[in-house]
Structure 1
């Protein structure tokens, strides 16, 4: 496990899956997408800066090729007010050699040479458009595979944040993360590549049994919902997408009380504009999203949990 220098304290990271807009209800396609919501990044960046938060934009290929995205974020990145990382959506990321289907949408399922070629194409585009070499990675759909770590190490990336602890995507051809911890750990040799999983908290009196019990509940239709409504056991990821602010505040308190060294929050950039994700359909929904972030930031700061960044995480991780 990763240990941090004395006095570091608890930190939180805001990660933004910065990606193209597409219809989430339809099959994936190489062509049916746009990047109109990139313009909304300006307001979110200003909002974060008001709280001293350094958002980490995990950028996929259509956004990496957007001149507007570069114009909006390049200055903030250069001044340390924002950071950029890599997010690989293989179906819209050249070279295009694979069929577009659910299995291949998890980039870790691709052959090594193809996964590496797609990653390098995206990495170079981000470095060119945003003026800096990215140091953090998230696989689209959280889809890392057996070759991903070696590809990231070769490129000199410091952190992977693809693991979504407490979730299992194997039924759809993806990875199984249900038994992995929330605390960061080293992948292979200490100091080479850190895994910084997204934060998901189990709440309720049965939470100590969650790693075993929650997968069992999933075998019976709607049983997880019954346990959640009764307050017995609930899985709460730290995201404004599909998670009410009262639920997120409760989960955040638990994560802080448990002494989690880094809390990793996330959402998708198209949610910054109504009508592009299932979570934000109206201006009222958008107001609620910003209110969600406002209340979470205020709670973190009130509890002494400070905003973090990739640079800060790297500098405070103990290598000895």
Structure 2
């Protein structure tokens, strides 16, 4: 049997079929991780966990609007007593879900050199990627009292052996593919041509890909998959085309995306019939000073206002929230 690779482009017959009454839904994923300086080279040491104290507030906020956040946690979070204490009750009550996010540079065993190429877990030797995943998964189960069923590779770094690692450890959903983004310059995967609808990676073993949602907007959006990548050397042109309403790439995240932009993105995703809109952000944005997107308490207030407006708009558009459990109950292999 040929090796299953998540990074391979799926055929239309692999697309996931949902029941007629499923409609369109959304999920909220949180890359729950340590704080580090995004502008500096990746390091194994020197990170902090200050934003962990803000997880409880965000969980309470989500519960107030009926959203079940999916916390994709890495090793420093999985072994943080404060993080486990903050999230374990909500997970036990079904008001939050837990998943795996592998940052290889901070996940034992530390047998590789720390560099950009190795920061994509899929680039590691197969046995090392597997062992890092196993130890992280076990730490999550022990710390949070739940078996994780969803995975996102840190830095979206899938590799040729990742699918077998996930299926061997009972993962049902991978959500590492960031469609319409290309990380190959740093040695990572290229997802430029991947679809934004879910597909079966391995239908026999029940592994689904749930890609992050990114859409093209503007008068030239139909040419986005071809035109946008050609402008990577001239980011000023990308900005100009966005400002004049010709072409814009919009990921569904509060990090670097305005409310007006994300509303446009939601509308496009709905119009294109995307069955599951996948929103995401990094947990250090829950406290000021740890990401470029939230530098002050005023920025944090704006961050929460962004989510309030997005949830309200999704409700008006009749896009209900779902969860890993909800997806697994809904999908069929037919």
Residue number among 170, 174, 180 corresponding to 1:156 in the alignment: 170
Equivalent residues of 1:191, 1:319 under 8 A apart? no
Give the conservation status (yes or no) of the 8 Å contact 1:135–1:158.
Answer: yes
Given that residues 137 and 160 in structure 1 are in contact (C-alpha distance below 8 angstroms), is that contact kept between their aligned partners in structure 2? yes
* Local SS of the residue matching 1:137: strand
User: Which runs of no fewer than 5 residues in structure 2 stay unpaired?
Assistant: 1-14
* Corresponding residue pairs, total: 320
The answer to whether structure 1 residue 134 and structure 2 residue 148 are counterparts is: yes
How much does 1:220 deviate?
3.1
Give, in angstroms, the shift of residue 190 of structure 1: 5.0
Aligned to 1:94: 108
Determine if contact 2:175/2:209 at 8 Å carries over to the other structure: yes
* Paired position in structure 2 for 1:110: 124
Report how far residue 6 of structure 1 moved. Answer: 2.0
Q: In the alignment, what sits opposite 2:194? A: 180
Contact 1:12-1:264 within 8 A present in 2 as well: yes
Q: Is the 8 A contact 2:254 2:303 kept in 1?
A: yes
| C-alpha distance in 2 between matches for 1:240 and 1:291 | 10
1:163 to partner: Cα distance: 0.3
User: Match of 1:275?
Assistant: 289
Residue pair 1:85, 1:136 contacting (<8 A) in 2 also: yes
- Structure 2 contact 217–247 (Cα < 8 Å) conserved: yes
Match of 1:257 among 262, 271, 279: 271
CA positional deviation for 1:156: 0.9
Alignment partner of 1:239 is 2:253: yes
1:297 corresponds to: 311
Q: Secondary structure at the match of 2:139?
A: helix
Runs of 5+ unmatched residues, structure 1:
none
Q: SS state of the match for residue 122, structure 2?
A: helix
Deviations 1:90-131 (A, max 9, x none): 000000000000000000000000000000010000000000
- Cα distance in 1 for partners of 2:126, 2:18 equals 33
Confirm or deny: 8 A CA contact 2:203 2:333 kept in the other structure.
no
For residue 6 of structure 1, the aligned residue among 20, 28, 33 is 20
Q: Distance in 2 between matches of 1:114 and 1:277?
A: 29
Encode CA deviations 1:41-97: one digit per residue, 9 max, x unaligned: 001001111110000000000000011111111111011100000000000000000
CA drift of 1:221 comes to 4.6
Tell me how far apart the structure 2 counterparts of residues 22 and 279 of structure 1 sit (CA, whole Å): 14
Which residue number corresponds to residue 22 of structure 1? 36
The 2-side partners of 1:103 and 1:57 are apart by 25
2:245 paired with 1:226: no
SS at match of 2:202: coil
State the alpha-carbon separation in 2 of the partners of residues 190 and 282 from structure 1: 48
Q: TM-score, normalised by structure 1?
A: 0.98
What is the TM-score of this pair, normalised by structure 2? 0.94
- Residue in structure 1 matched with residue 90 of structure 2 by the alignment: 76
Residue aligning to 2:65: 51
Q: Is the 8 A contact 2:104 2:120 kept in 1?
A: yes
Instruction: Indicate conservation of the 8 Å contact 1:13/1:264, yes or no.
Output: yes
